[in-house]
Amino acid sequence: MESTFLHSDCPENLKVRYATSVYQKRALTWWNTEKRTRGAETALALTWDEVKRLMTEEFCPRNEMMKLESEFWNLKQDSGENLAYTNRHHELSLLVPHMVTPLSRAIEKYISGLPMQIQDTCYGSKPTTLEDAIRLAATLTDNHVRAGTLTRKGVKKVEAKSTNDEPSKEVKAESPNGPKFNNRKRKANNFALTTSATPTVPVNQQPSAKQTNKSYVGEHPLCITCRYHHATNRPCRVCTNCKRYGHLANYCRNRQMVQQGQNAPQLNQTPAAPTPALTHGRACYECGDPNHFRNKCPKLVGNDQRGTRAQTFQLNVQDPQVNQDMENDTLLIKD
């Protein structure tokens, strides 16, 4: 606004009228309130300095000024961002001018916010104006950014290391012809071939033995209850002995046999022929009972169809004794 007054040669008695005509939002609401309180003619008769003082009291209260003073006191340059630091220093100098008055205090305040690599040189040069200190700080900051001691957004820090051997080592490590890169590429190709080979094999094609053990090629779907493949209209096979899916009680591998008096319903008919139990312990080869062996199986004791146990011969003339367990015969010997 001050620049507009200067370029337009605005007279002193019209500065308030011109400035208040461009107010918007909160500033316009405040000015309308002042005109209602003081009266329109009295408010427009105020000088520009009086209006600025009233605006400072309204829009810059003491609590807000304390925040600005604290920010200005702790203002520091962020590494190589000298331009952002200088702009913020100028803004706060206009809002809290008492912190940079006189000029020597403003120069000291600006230099104190610079990085330590630059402060010593600026203090040693003893600048007489704030502009000299700003130009010197900008030049030193650019030199440190090129040297890599300070960083700036958008500028790489490794530019000064182009003559060293480290970049060549990094390029060699990242080269696509290196052994590590080839090993990673080979593993990735193997994984891609493994994952893409399974879906492309036709169902009617004769699978190998390795593929048969790993994949199911039948027509029945996978049951979500027992995790086996069977027809949808057939119940799951559940063992009444170990309560597990996939087999029945007569094929159970658990050594505890099903009790004879148990009335649990069987989901499948028991085979007519006795089936030996698939157990890792000792059991009868005839009936599968782990409590005895085949030579003492109750199904074989007293069975007449099991055959002759032994044979004997009579050498005398007496009638042989009748014995069901032996087979008798007579042998004649000539002199």
What pLDDT does residue 315 have? 56
Please indicate whether residue 250 or residue 74 has the higher confidence score (pLDDT).
74
d(CA 95, CA 107): 17
pLDDT at 259 over 70: no
pTM of the entire structure?
0.41
pLDDT at 134 over 70: yes
What number of CA atoms fall less than 13 Å from residue 228's CA on the CB side? Answer: 12
Per-residue pLDDT band at 14 (split at 50, 70, 90): confident
pLDDT at 180 over 50: yes
DSSP 8-state class, residue 264 = P
| Amino acid at position 5, single letter | F
Segment of 114-123, 231-240, 274-283 carrying the highest mean pLDDT: 114-123
| Amino acid at position 225, single letter | T
Distance of CA 84 to the CA centre of its chain: 37
For the chain, what percent of residues have pLDDT higher than 70?
A: 63
d(CA 107, CA 99): 11
Query: What angle, rounded to 10 degrees, do the helices at 130-147 and 116-125 form?
Result: 140
What pLDDT does residue 193 have? 42
What pLDDT does residue 261 have? 45
Average pLDDT, the chain: 75
Q: Vertex 287, ends 281 and 290: CA angle to 5°?
A: 25
Q: Which two tokens stand for residue 116?
A: 């330590």
What pLDDT does residue 219 have? 82
pLDDT at 320 over 80: no
Run of H or E residues at 327: strand 326-327
Query: What angle, rounded to 10 degrees, do the helices at 48-59 and 25-38 form?
Result: 120
d(CA 323, CA 293): 27
Beta-bridge mates of residue 155: 152
pLDDT at 93 over 60: yes
Closest CA to 92 of 76, 80, 104: 76
What pLDDT does residue 201 have? 47
d(CA 136, CA 152): 18
The 3-state DSSP composition of the chain as helix, strand, coil percent (nearest 5) reads 50, 5, 45
Residue 155 φ/ψ, nearest 5 degrees: -120, 125
Per-residue pLDDT band at 102 (split at 50, 70, 90): very high
Closest CA to 44 of 69, 10, 67, 15: 15
